[in-house]
Amino acid sequence: QPGSPLPRPFADMTRGGRLFVSKGCVGCHRHQEINPERSSDARFDLTAKRFEHEYLKTFLANPAGKQVDMPNLNLKEGEIAALAAFINKFSAKQKQLERQK
């Protein structure tokens, strides 16, 4: 429709949550918002983790460079930013709550 505003893209955190599922991160990682059940398999729980933004961007761009057993998903820059925002989501909320005390 002429004059209609363009739809806003998903916020990075929302998009990151969707990427967490679609890129298969849930196969090895746990995040309370996506797969809250406690699993008997050894999942790396990312719910309360906080990573420096630049470190996380570098790691997601090339995980093999950090000598870990994680595939390179060939993520685009926007996908990396969205996943980083999602992974750090709960720790950002926690920091905000602590500042309000």
Q: Are 26 and 18 in contact (CB under 8 A)?
A: no
Q: Where are the domains of the chain?
A: 12-100
pLDDT in tens, 12-34: 889 999 999 999 998 888 888 88
Structure tokens at 41: 């398999």
Q: Into which CATH architecture does domain 12-100 fall? A: Orthogonal Bundle (1.10)
Q: How confident is the model at residue 38 (pLDDT cuts 50, 70, 90)?
A: low
Q: How far is Cα of residue 36 from the mean position of the Cα atoms in its chain?
A: 15
**Percent of the chain beyond pLDDT 70?**
73
Task: Inform me whether the pLDDT recorded for 93 exceeds 60.
Answer: no
pLDDT of residue 22: 96
Long-range CB pairs of 26-34 (<8 Å, 24+ gap) are: 28/70, 31/86, 31/87, 32/90, 33/89, 33/90
pLDDT in tens, 57-68: 999 999 877 777
For residues 3-11, average pLDDT: 60
